Amino acid sequence: MRYLFLLIFSLFSLTTVCAQEVKLNNGKQIGSISSDGTIRNRSNAQIGKISSDGTIRDRNNTQIGKIESDGTVRDRSGSQVGRIKSDGTVYDRNNSQIGKVESDGTVRNRQNSQIGKASGVKREWVAVAFFFFYFN
**Measured CA distances, 8 to 1, 4, 16, 129 (Å):** 11, 6, 24, 11
The mean pLDDT value of the chain amounts to 84
Q: What's the pLDDT tens digit per position in 39-91?
A: 998 899 999 999 999 999 999 999 999 999 999 999 999 999 999 999 999 99
What pLDDT score was predicted for residue 136?
56
Q: CA angle at residue 17 from 16 to 22, to 5 degrees?
A: 65
What pLDDT score was predicted for residue 7?
41
CATH number for 84: 2.40.160
Domain count, the chain: 1
Reading phi first (left if > 0) and then psi (alpha if -120 to 50, else beta), residue 90 is in beta
What pLDDT score was predicted for residue 25?
67
Instruction: Give dist(CA 40, CA 23) in Å, integer.
Output: 12
Q: Identify the domain containing residue 43 by its residue range.
A: 2-132
Please give the model's pTM, rounded to 2 decimal places: 0.79
